[in-house]
């Protein structure tokens, strides 16, 4: 039988990871050019600029996610071992802490992976500027 706490932890990771996968996109100022071309054409231009940015510059988001997970697991293991040492179960505490910390680090890494690399973000903004758009933010 699976521990109920483990079930809750797995469910939380799944729910958080599904929301974390949607990439941020530029928000355009409603200038004259946007009014001329319309929303559908603007979204196609955004997609094109995002693809060019991805092809021209490789982000390191996968490495950041792995690093965040590893740091979380190490921190959790240390905290779990300390708590476990007080209760006489240092090994079990370290294992539980590593699992919880690793899951927390994974979730944090996934949410930060939504953010475009700063160089890619500037690339997309410049690409859209050259097409006549004005980027006012990212969502």
Q: Is residue 138 part of a domain?
A: yes
The residue range of the domain holding 16 is 1-59+116-139
Alpha helices in the chain (DSSP H): 4-20, 32-56, 61-87, 90-113, 118-130
d(CA 76, CA 8): 17
**pLDDT value, residue 108:** 53
pTM metric for this prediction: 0.50
Q: How many CB atoms lie within 10 A of CB 33?
A: 16
Q: How far is CA 65 from the centre of its chain?
A: 8
Q: Is residue 132 part of a domain?
A: yes
Q: Is residue 71 part of a domain?
A: no
Q: What is the pLDDT of residues 25-35, one digit of tens each?
A: 999 999 999 99
Q: Is residue 35 part of a domain?
A: yes
Q: Is residue 36 part of a domain?
A: yes
Q: What H or E segment, with its residue span, contains residue 26?
A: strand 26-28
């Amino acid at each position: 039988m699976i521990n109920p706490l483990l079930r809750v932890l797995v469910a939380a990771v799944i729910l958080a990871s599904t929301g974390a996968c949607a990439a941020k996109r530029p928000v355009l100022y409603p200038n004259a050019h946007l009014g001329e071309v319309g929303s559908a054409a603007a979204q196609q231009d955004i997609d094109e600029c995002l693809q060019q940015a991805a092809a021209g510059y490789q982000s390191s988001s996968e490495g950041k996610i792995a690093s965040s997970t590893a740091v979380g697991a190490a921190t959790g293991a240390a905290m779990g071992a300390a708590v476990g040492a007080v209760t006489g179960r240092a090994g079990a505490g370290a294992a539980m802490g590593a699992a919880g910390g690793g899951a927390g680090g994974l979730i944090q890494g996934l949410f930060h992976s939504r953010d475009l690399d700063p160089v890619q973000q500037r690339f997309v903004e410049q690409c859209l500027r050259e097409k006549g758009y004005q980027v006012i933010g990212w969502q």
